[in-house]
Amino acid sequence: MDWSFESIVQHAAAEGVYDLGPGYLDPQLIPVPDIKAAFDEALSRYGAAALAYGHNQGALPFRAAVADRLADGDGTDYTPSHLLATGGTSQALDLLAAAVAEPGQAVVVESLTYDLALQIFRDRGLVVYAVERDSEGMLPSAVDQAAARARQERRGIAFVYLVPTFHNPTGSEMSQPRRTALLESAARHQMLVVEDDAYADLPLTPRTRQPSLAGLADFRGVVRLGTFSKSLAPGLRLGWLAAGPRLCRELAGRGLFTSGGCPSHLAALAVGLLLESGFYEDHLRWLHSELKCRRDALTDTLHNLLPGEWHLRPADGGLFSWVDIPAGVSEFDAVAAAEQGGVLTSPGERFGSDAEPGVRLSYAYNSPERLAAAAASLADAWRPLSAG
Amino acid sequence: MDWSFESIVQHAAAEGVYDLGPGYLDPQLIPVPDIKAAFDEALSRYGAAALAYGHNQGALPFRAAVADRLADGDGTDYTPSHLLATGGTSQALDLLAAAVAEPGQAVVVESLTYDLALQIFRDRGLVVYAVERDSEGMLPSAVDQAAARARQERRGIAFVYLVPTFHNPTGSEMSQPRRTALLESAARHQMLVVEDDAYADLPLTPRTRQPSLAGLADFRGVVRLGTFSKSLAPGLRLGWLAAGPRLCRELAGRGLFTSGGCPSHLAALAVGLLLESGFYEDHLRWLHSELKCRRDALTDTLHNLLPGEWHLRPADGGLFSWVDIPAGVSEFDAVAAAEQGGVLTSPGERFGSDAEPGVRLSYAYNSPERLAAAAASLADAWRPLSAG
């Protein structure tokens, strides 16, 4: 039987619309033949072991390859025992919300943050404390304020969740001094920090890479999350959690993992081979140039055409650009006008707040040509709003 | 780099020991080449769609194939909207414990039941009510007693969990009259029933198949769980949840699924092809004869050699045989004596209770020859205990 693309995937762009919504790669950017070869090789090389229940923390070849790569990037001593293979970031967040938090506890997040993290936390009965951020991300003083609020409400704090590198939705990046200050604040209040590094493999501008919070803290009080969904293929549903070996063992000891190991056992073995062979680094270099080309198509056009009061924030990596909306224009009006102009965008409100009124534009899901055209449509759609 | 089998899998049998512990297939019984071909075909046929985020409830080709198969077996109207693709039974149990239960609520289980379900429920803060069972499984009167206890303890009941077909750990099977009576009891108390049908595809004796609880109730108040871990390959980490369309949609609307769909997207597409092509039914026929041969090797030897006071229960399907231990012998002593004799077994206590003192023997993980030898060793090891 023939099945349409739509019958299989979560979301497909509507005909005749520029869809700047999806926070993941255009199917055109997924290296299908290479991933196919990797699954094939994993099944040939590991045979029945690739189809048996995997190790609770994840198959060793995968954890060893990820540990080597992270150690290279971070200058920290990652070993396989620092890693837990996960079914992507969302499964890791669900696990943390269940394992290190209790219903009714608070989770401290940036005033704009990954929308589905918010949903996962709320699904688990956690109370979201959205705190102040600036162009570098969460303010250290906001951690102090959250601690004060928690005392007042007699509520425990489960953890602090943030996206320090190429932030979703704004694209912002936290400097090293800010990272250090934030870690100091969190340590002072004995708050666990959950560092979502989903976009860390996607820098688009050559420059010194920021060390991870986990690396700076040597894992003390920090859990770091990574994924191959944003850099390789969403449908792998594969990521990792890096933390101190004791916490990794403890998480892997929950029934969900002792019942058969990582939910993405075979995918982990396949990706382990792509890491080991050097394919992943080559792929990232190619992907960076593809994404840069897309980002430039979108942002160059916006820079040229955007009405004066609208402000495009720089995006040095990740998948998103953020446009600040002028005072007097609502997010709702901006998104509605864009849609009238044939462009789908995501309002800040979707990410938990309208503290910084604006819209997120993904440049990962469309070709450069379409992005340039979408940008021109956006400028046309928004010009009358400013004039009004 | 070369990696050992042990570096990849959750458990490997120790040298020189007959390991009757694992409740899953011997790697020799996993059809690796056929599964490999299915992954290959899924990636060829669906391309990037197989590596994109999947539909929240699971890719339609998989759900359609499972629905057709279940409708054939059960005579009930399963459609794709009755199904949610899951990362195996354990992920489904974790999901249910989080989505339809609240911490502090009770879950009603049989006095002997799947050990990791107990752990998953406790991980989620649920209180386990272990209730009476007999050779057919949970007693309907036990449901009434659980309701009374819950009233007394002012505690809500989240759901009733049971394995009606080829029960883990005892191999028992619930008759149709008992199924009907149990459903009536649960309905009277408005308790949701979670039917774990992990072993339903493994009947070893030709006979009329029992209708599922979900089929009998037409999904009213019943959630049915299935998996391909026990019948195809554990490492696929793929199963399904069947329920009314509204509950399926509600479960698929949680952050964990809206963030990218089923955790086993590609595996679901591959297995969908194995269902569609007829491979799965052919494979089951072969697997049934292989498992029957193993069961017979174990149980024929035990029937001949087991000391008189020890009682082997009949196993008409699934992966397990159960031996009742005579009064005066503890499970601990039985398991220790077996281990001294080189055979690993699982005591009833592991499954939540010693209400029916006995040990579980898996016949799925060893060859017929090894199982016959293990059975002889068990009889030798246990004879002195009875004499003492």
Mean pLDDT throughout A364-377?
A: 98
**What are phi and psi for residue B61, nearest 5 degrees?**
-55, -40
pLDDT class of A239 with cuts at 50, 70, 90: very high
Q: Mark which of B227, B251, B277 sits at the end of a domain.
A: B277
A178 part of a folded domain = yes
Shortest Cα distance, chain B CAs vs residue A40, angstroms? 7
Report pLDDT for A13: 87
Residue A144 scores a pLDDT above 90? yes
| Subunit contact B7:A258, Cβ cutoff 8 A | no
Chain B positions touching A236 (Cβ under 8 A) are: 51, 266
Pairing verdict, β B137-138 and B157-162: unpaired
Instruction: Scan residues 178-197 of B and list those with Cβ closer than 8 Å to A.
Output: none
Distances (CA, A) of A41 to A36, A273, B257, B304, B337: 9, 8, 29, 47, 44
Do A170 and A76 have their domain in common? Answer: yes
C-alpha span between B383 and B374 (Å, rounded):
14
Chain B contact for A104 (CB, 8 A cutoff): no
Which range among A55-59, A371-375, B223-227, B351-355 shows the weakest confidence by mean pLDDT? Answer: B351-355
* Statement to judge: residues B156 and B187 lie in one domain: yes
Interface touch A120/B256, C-beta < 8 Å: yes
Label residue B171 exposed, middle or buried (CB < 10 Å: 0-12, 13-18, 19+): buried
pLDDT for residue A387 is more than 80 = no
Instruction: Report residue A309 as tokens.
Output: 């009061």
Say yes or no: B15 and B109 in one domain. Answer: no
Neighbours of B207 (CB within 10 A): 10
Q: Look at residues A244, A8, A227 and name the one whose alpha carbon lies nearest to residue A114.
A: A227
Lowest mean pLDDT among A44-48, A291-295, B3-7: B3-7
Query: Is the domain of A296 the same as that of A264?
Result: no
pLDDT for residue A353? 85
Do both A294 and A202 map to the same domain?
no
| pLDDT above 70: percentage of residues in chain A | 99
Give B227 to chain A, closest Cα distance, Å.
Answer: 12
Which tokens belong to A381?
């759609």
Number of domains chain A contains: 2
Sole residue written with tokens 């792998």:
A236
Give the residue from A346, A383, A385, A309 showing the smallest Cα distance to A169: A346
In 3D, which of A150, A168, A170, A175 has the Cα closest to residue A160? A150
For residues A250 and A99, is the Cβ–Cβ distance under 8 A? Answer: yes
* Residue A102 belongs to domain spanning: 33-278
Domain boundary among B228, B260, B277: B277
CA neighbor of A163 nearest in space, from A113, A119, A201, A209: A113
The CA distance from B263 to the nearest CA of chain A, in Å, is 6
In this structure, are residues B369 and B360 in contact, taking their beta carbons and an 8 Å threshold?
A: no
Distance CA A154, CA A245 (A): 31
Of B43, B49, B233, Cβ closest to residue A8: B49
SS3 A345: coil
How far is it, in rounded angstroms, from Cα A16 to Cα A31? 26
Of B60, B117, B123, the CB nearest to A8: B60
Same domain, residue pair B145 and B207: yes
Q: Which residues pair with A362 in a beta bridge?
A: A320
Tens digits of residue pLDDT in B177-217: 999 999 999 999 999 999 999 999 999 988 778 899 999 99
**Is A2 in the B-facing interface, judged by CB distances under 8 Å?**
no
Q: Confidence class of residue A75 from pLDDT cuts 50, 70 and 90?
A: confident
Select the residue of A51, A94, A267 nearest B35 (Cβ to Cβ).
A51
- Within 13 Å, how many C-alpha atoms sit on residue A299's CB side? 23
Sign of torsion, CA A30 A31 A32 A36?
A: negative
CB contacts < 8 A, A to B, total 253
Q: Both A285 and A263 in a single domain?
A: no
**Distance separating alpha carbons of residues B322 and A53, to the nearest angstrom:** 24
The residue of B45, B46, B51, B277 whose CB has the most chain A CBs within 10 angstroms, and thus the best one to mutate to test that interface, is B51
Residue A6 inside a domain? The answer is no
Give me the mean pLDDT over the A228-242 stretch: 98
The answer to whether residue A206 scores a pLDDT higher than 90 is: no
pLDDT tens per residue across span A116-137: 999 999 999 999 999 999 999 9
Among B46, B122, B258, select the one facing A116 at the smallest CB separation: B258
> Which residues 275-304 of B are in CB contact (within 8 Å) with A?
276
Q: Is the reported ipTM for this assembly greater than 0.95?
A: yes
Token pair, residue B371, equals 């199982």
How many Cα neighbours within 13 Å face the side chain of A257? 21
Between CA A224 and CA A242 the distance in angstroms is: 5
Q: What is the pLDDT of residue B122?
A: 97
Sign of CA dihedral A358, A363, A367, A372: positive
Which H or E element spans position B380?
helix B368-387
In what side-by-side order are the strands of the sheet with B193-196? B83-86, B239-242, B222-227, B193-196, B157-162, B106-110, B127-131
Q: What is the pLDDT of residues A178-195, one digit of tens each?
A: 999 999 999 999 999 999
Q: Which CATH number fits the domain that encloses residue A76?
A: 3.40.640.10
CA B264, chain centre distance (Å): 18
Q: Which of the residues B32, B228, B256 would you substitute to probe the A interface, choosing the one with the greatest number of A C-beta atoms within 10 Å?
A: B256
pLDDT band, residue A386 (cuts 50/70/90)? confident
A182 and A109 in a common domain: yes
Best probe of the B interface among A6, A10, A57, A68, by most B CBs < 10 A, is A10
Instruction: Tell whether B73 lies on the interface with A, counting CB pairs under 8 A.
Output: no
Residues B257 and B288 reside in one and the same domain: no
Neighbours of A65 (CB within 10 A): 23
Residue B58 at interface with chain A, using a CB cutoff of 8 Å:
no
CA–CA distance, A299 with A283 (Å, rounded to integer): 24
Quick check: A388 pLDDT over 60? Answer: no
Domain check: are B87 and B176 in the same one? yes
Residue range B86-99, pLDDT digits in tens:
999 999 999 999 99
Q: Tell me what pLDDT residue A288 has.
A: 97
Judge whether residue A373 has pLDDT over 90: yes
| Dist. CA A302–CA A296, nearest whole Å | 9
Q: Which of these, A82, A60, A63, lies nearest to A249 by C-alpha position?
A: A82
- Residue B388 pLDDT: 55
Are A189 and A134 in the same domain? Answer: yes
Please list the alpha-helical segments (H only) found in chain A.
Answer: 32-46, 60-74, 88-99, 115-123, 140-152, 176-188, 213-217, 245-252, 255-258, 265-276, 279-305, 331-340, 368-387
Distance from CA of A160 to the nearest CA of B (A): 19
Predicted local confidence at residue A247, as pLDDT: 98
Contacts of B159 (CB under 8 A, 6+ apart): B96, B100, B101, B107, B108, B191, B192, B193, B194, B223
Contact at CB, A237 and B265, closer than 8 angstroms: yes
Residues in chain B, pLDDT under 70: 1, 387-388
Q: Cβ of A87 and B90 within 8 Å?
A: no
Inform me whether the C-beta atom of residue A63 falls under 8 Å from chain B C-beta atoms: no
In a domain, A3, yes or no: no
DSSP assignment of B349-375 equals: GGGT--SS-EEEEESSSS-HHHHHHHH
* Interface touch A87/B87, C-beta < 8 Å: yes
SS3 B294: helix
Average pLDDT, chain B: 96
The first and second tokens of residue A314, run together, are 């720089």
Does A346 fall in a domain? yes
pLDDT at A59: 97
Helix (H) or strand (E) holding A160: strand A157-162
In-domain check, residue A174: yes
The CATH number of residue A368's host domain is 3.90.1150.10
Q: Looking at residue B13, what is its pLDDT?
A: 87
Q: Are residues B55 and A8, on separate chains, in Cβ contact within 8 Å?
A: yes
Q: Residue A8 domain-assigned? A: no
Residue A2: per-residue pLDDT: 81
Q: Are A7 and B61 inside 8 Å of each other by CB?
A: yes
**B276: number of Cβ within 10 Å:** 17
Cβ(A303)–Cβ(A336) under 8 Å? no
| Mean pLDDT in residue range A166-186 | 97
Question: Amino acid identity of A170?
Answer: T
Contacts of B123 in chain A (CB under 8 A): 98-99, 254-256
Q: Tell me the C-alpha distance between A231 and A235, whole Å.
A: 11
User: What is Dmax (Cα atoms) for chain A?
Assistant: 66
Kindly give, in sequence order, each residue whose CB lies less than 8 Å from that of residue B278, ignoring residues fewer than 6 positions away: none
Residue B156 CA to residue A255 CA, distance in Å, equals 23
Does A229 lie in the same domain as A121?
yes
Question: Of A278, A309, A325, which residue is a domain's last?
Answer: A278
Q: Cβ neighbours of residue B109 under 8 Å, at least 6 residues apart? A: B117, B118, B121, B128, B129, B130, B131, B160, B161, B162, B352
Sheet of A157-162: strand order equals A83-86, A239-242, A222-227, A193-196, A157-162, A106-110, A127-131
| pLDDT for position A207 | 73
- The partner residue sitting opposite B263, judged by closest CB among A1, A87, A116, is A87
State the first-to-last Cα distance of chain A, in angstroms, to the nearest integer.
54
A259, with CB counted inside 10 A (0-12, 13-18, 19+), is buried
Cis preceding-peptide flag for A169 (omega within 30 of 0): yes
Q: Chain A closest CA to B101's CA: distance in Å?
A: 11
> A120 at the B interface (CB within 8 A)?
yes
Residue A29 pLDDT: 98
Question: To the nearest whole angstrom, how far is the Cα of A217 from the nearest Cα of chain B?
Answer: 29
Q: Does A1 touch chain B (CB under 8 A)?
A: yes
pLDDT in tens, A307-354: 989 999 989 999 999 999 999 999 999 999 999 999 999 999 999 988
The span from the CA of B230 to the CA of B283, in Å, is: 12
Beta-carbon separation of B7 and A267 below 8 A: no
Asked if the Cβ–Cβ distance from A263 to B263 is below 8 Å, we say yes
